[in-house]
C-alpha cells in the first residue's frame, strides 16, 4: 500500500526544474537553459538533462513562460473548411513550419460564414495567440477590419481584400490559373465552357473569372453569361446547380470548376445522369489536390503551390510577430500552372 501511495504522489506532483537539478547534479539555471536548447550548454549536458526531464515526465510551464516573454508561442489558422483537402494540406504545411519554430497551431473553420468567422477570430484572440493566418470568408471584410483594429499580427492566405494595401497577403496567380484552364479547353475545341465559380465577393473568384474571360476573348469566343454560375463552395452546391442546368437543356461541352472539390462533385453528378467524363464532358478543376492525394479519377487541374503559399504565409507572420521590417507590406503572388490529366479531351469534330 505504501509503495502505491508513493507512485500516486509521483504522478500527481508535477516535476519541477529543481527536481531535475537534484537528479542530475546541475543547477536550476543550467537545467532551464539546457531544456531551452541554449548554445552555451554543451550538447552532452543538454542530452543528459533532456533525457532525465523526459524520464521524470517534465512538462514545461508555458503559461509562466508566456507571462515572462509576453508571447504564448501559439498561432491560429482560420480557413473555410478543413475537410476540403486543399485547406487541410495548407494547414498541415503551416503546422509543420510552426512546429519547427516551437509554435503550437489552433485550427478554426469559418464555413464561409461571416458570423462564424467573427467567432473564430474572437476565440483565437481569447487564447492570446501571437498571430493569425486567415483565409477570409466571402464578404468578410468587416471581420478583417476588426482583426486589424486589435493590433494582432495576421496574414491573409489565398484571398485578398479591396483595401489590401495596408495588410499582408499570400495568394496564387488566380487570373493566370483561370486563363490556363479556359485556354486548355478552348485549344481542345470546346466553345461552350460552363464556369462553376464561387461568389464574386471572393477575390480568387473574381480573378479566375477574369482569366476565363481573357482566354475566351483571345480566342474570339463570345462570353455567354448564362454559362458563368456563382454557387456555394460548400458540398452540395454543385449538384443542385448542375441538375438545374441540365434540366434547362443549356448546352455545354466542358466545365471549369472553381476548385477540385467542386469539379469532383460535378463529375459525380454527371455520372449519376449517365454523362461520362471526358467522353461527353471535359472537366478542369483548381488546386491540384492530386499532387498530394491518390484519387482514382485523374483530374486536370490548376496547381497553386499549396506548400509554398502556406510556408510563405507563416514566414511573413513570424516577421510580424517579431516586429521585423515593420515598414514593409508583403504582397506575395505565387505562380500557377496547369497539370493535364485524363478528365479532358479534344472535342470530336
What is the reported pLDDT for 60?
Answer: 66
Average pLDDT score over the chain:
89
pLDDT average, residue stretch 118-131? 94
- CA 169 to the chain's CA centroid: 12
| The three grid cell numbers given for residue 151, joined into one nine-digit string | 493590433
* 191 bridge partner residues: none
Does 69 score more than 60 pLDDT? no
Q: For position 244, what pLDDT does the model report?
A: 94
Supply the pLDDT for residue 10.
42
Write down the residue that cell numbers 498561432 correspond to: 75
Domain with CATH 3.40.50.2300 in the chain: 71-172+306-334, 174-304
1 has pLDDT over 60:
no
The CATH code belonging to domain 2-60 is 1.10.260.40
pLDDT given at position 328: 86
Which pLDDT does position 307 carry in this prediction? 87
State how far the Cα of 150 lies from the Cα of 96, in Å rounded to an integer: 27
Superfamily of domain 71-172+306-334: Response regulator (3.40.50.2300)
- What would you report as the CA-atom Rg of the chain, rounded to the nearest whole angstrom? 26
Burial of 324 (0-12, 13-18, 19+ CB in 10 A): exposed
Using the predicted structure, report yes or no on whether residue 93 has a pLDDT greater than 90. Answer: yes
pLDDT for res 14: 67
Q: Model's pTM, two decimal places?
A: 0.80
CA dist 209 and 202 (Å) reads 11
- Pairing of β 74-79 and β 254-257: unpaired
Listed range (8-22, 145-159, 299-313) with the worst mean pLDDT: 8-22
Secondary structure (3-state) at 148: helix
Domain 174-304, CATH homologous superfamily name and number: Response regulator (3.40.50.2300)
Residues 6+ positions from 82 with CB-CB distance below 8 Å: 88, 91, 107, 109
Res 6: pLDDT: 45
Amino acid at each position: 500500500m505504501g509503495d502505491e501511495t508513493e507512485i500516486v504522489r509521483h504522478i500527481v506532483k508535477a516535476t519541477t526544474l529543481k527536481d531535475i537539478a537534484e537528479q542530475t547534479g546541475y543547477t536550476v539555471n543550467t537545467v532551464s537553459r539546457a531544456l531551452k536548447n541554449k548554445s552555451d550548454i554543451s550538447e552532452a549536458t543538454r542530452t543528459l538533462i533532456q533525457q532525465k526531464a523526459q524520464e521524470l515526465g517534465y512538462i514545461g510551464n508555458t503559461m509562466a513562460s508566456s507571462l515572462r516573454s509576453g508571447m504564448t508561442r501559439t498561432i491560429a489558422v482560420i480557413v473555410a473548411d478543413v475537410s476540403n483537402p486543399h485547406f487541410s494540406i495548407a494547414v498541415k504545411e503551416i503546422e509543420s513550419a510552426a512546429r519547427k519554430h516551437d509554435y503550437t497551431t489552433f485550427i478554426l473553420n469559418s464555413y464561409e460564414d461571416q458570423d462564424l468567422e467573427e467567432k473564430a477570430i474572437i476565440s483565437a484572440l481569447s487564447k492570446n495567440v501571437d498571430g493569425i493566418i486567415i483565409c477570409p470568408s466571402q464578404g468578410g471584410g468587416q471581420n478583417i477590419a476588426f482583426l486589424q483594429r486589435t493590433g494582432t499580427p495576421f496574414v491573409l492566405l489565398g484571398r485578398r481584400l479591396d483595401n489590401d494595401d495596408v495588410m499582408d497577403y499570400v495568394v496564387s496567380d488566380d487570373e493566370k490559373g483561370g486563363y490556363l484552364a479556359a485556354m486548355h479547353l478552348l485549344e481542345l475545341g470546346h466553345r461552350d465552357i460552363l464556369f462553376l465559380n464561387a461568389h464574386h465577393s471572393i477575390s480568387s473568384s473574381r480573378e479566375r473569372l477574369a482569366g476565363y474571360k481573357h482566354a475566351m476573348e483571345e480566342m474570339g469566343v463570345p462570353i455567354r453569361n448564362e454559362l458563368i454560375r456563382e454557387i456555394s463552395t460548400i458540398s452540395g452546391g454543385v449538384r443542385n446547380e448542375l441538375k438545374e442546368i441540365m434540366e434547362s437543356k443549356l448546352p455545354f461541352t466542358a466545365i471549369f470548376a472553381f476548385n477540385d472539390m467542386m469539379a469532383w462533385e460535378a463529375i459525380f453528378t454527371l455520372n449519376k445522369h449517365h454523362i461520362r467524363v471526358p467522353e461527353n464532358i471535359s472537366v478542369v478543376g483548381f488546386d491540384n489536390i492530386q499532387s498530394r492525394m491518390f484519387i482514382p479519377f485523374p483530374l486536370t487541374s490548376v496547381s497553386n503551390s499549396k506548400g509554398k503559399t502556406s510556408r510563405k504565409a507563416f514566414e511573413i507572420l513570424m516577421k510580424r510577430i517579431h516586429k521585423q521590417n515593420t515598414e514593409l507590406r508583403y504582397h506575395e503572388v505565387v505562380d500557377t500552372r496547369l497539370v493535364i490529366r485524363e478528365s479532358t479531351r479534344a472535342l470530336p469534330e
